[in-house]
Structure 1
Amino acid sequence: MKPTRAGTTENISVSMPAELISELRSRAGRRGVSSYITEAVRHQLAMDGLAEIVASHEEEHGALTEQEIETARRELFAEGDSQDAGRDAA
C-alpha cells in the first residue's frame, strides 16, 4: 500500500462498461485514472451525506420549502462565487 495525505491506499478491482473506461482515461489525463476516480467517489460520498442530512431534516420537520432550498443554494454557492472572484482578482 502506498502512503497518501490521508493515510494508505489499497488496490481494488472495478468493472465498468468499456465506453466509460475510454472516456475516463481521456478525461483523467495527466492526473491519472486513480486520482480521478478517488475525487469522483469523494464527491459522491459528500452528496450521499447531504441527501442523508436532508432526509433526516425532512423526517423531523417536513419537506423543505422552495424558499429554504433557494436560501441554502445562495449560501452554498454565493460563498464559492466570492472566493473565486477574489482568486481571479489576484
Structure 2
Amino acid sequence: MATKKVTITIPEDLLDSIKGRVDARGVSAYIAEAAAHKDAMDRLRELSDRLEDEYGPVSEADYQAALDRIAAIDAWHGEAQTDPASAA
C-alpha cells in the first residue's frame, strides 16, 4: 500500500502516552491504525444510516435479538478458550 507523509497536531500528553507504548518508529503505525479504525467506524455509521433510511429503524426486539446472539457467541468463545474440545 502506498503511503504519504503528513504533518498532524495532537495534544502533547496524548503523544507522550502513545510513545510510552511504542518505539519511535511505531508512532506513525499507531496513529495510522487509529485513523483506519475511525475511518472504518465512520463508514459503518454511513452504511447504517443508509440502511435505516431505506428500511426504517431497527425494532427493539430485533436489537435485543442481536445482543442476545452476540452474548451467545461470546459465551461459546469463552468456553472454547477454556476447553478447546467444546469448540468442535
Q: Same fold (TM over 0.5)?
A: yes
Report which of the two structures shows the higher radius of gyration computed on alpha carbons. Answer: 2
2:5 is matched with which residue?
A: 11
Q: Which one scores higher on RCO, CA 8 angstroms, separation ≥ 6?
A: 2
Equivalences, count: 80
Larger proportion of strand: 1
- Provide the rounded CA distance (Å) in 1 between the counterparts of 2:81 and 2:3: 32
- Residue 8 and residue 89 in structure 1: after superposition, are their counterparts in 2 closer, same or farther (change >3 A)? farther
Instruction: Decide whether aligned partners of structure 1 residues 88 and 40 sit closer, same or farther in structure 2, where only a CA change above 3 A counts.
Output: farther
Query: Aligned letter for 1:63?
Result: P
> Gaps (5+ residues) in structure 1?
1-6
Q: Amino acid of the residue matched to residue 15 of structure 1? A: T
TM-score by length of 1: 0.65
1:78 equivalent to 2:73? Answer yes
Amino acid corresponding to residue 59 of structure 1 in structure 2? D
1:64 equivalent among 58, 66, 71: 58
Instruction: List runs of 5+ in structure 2 lacking aligned partners.
Output: none
Q: CA deviation at 1:86?
A: 5.8
- What is the CA RMSD across the aligned residues, in angstroms? 2.8
Which residue is 2:36 aligned to? 42
What is the TM-score of this pair, normalised by structure 2? Answer: 0.66
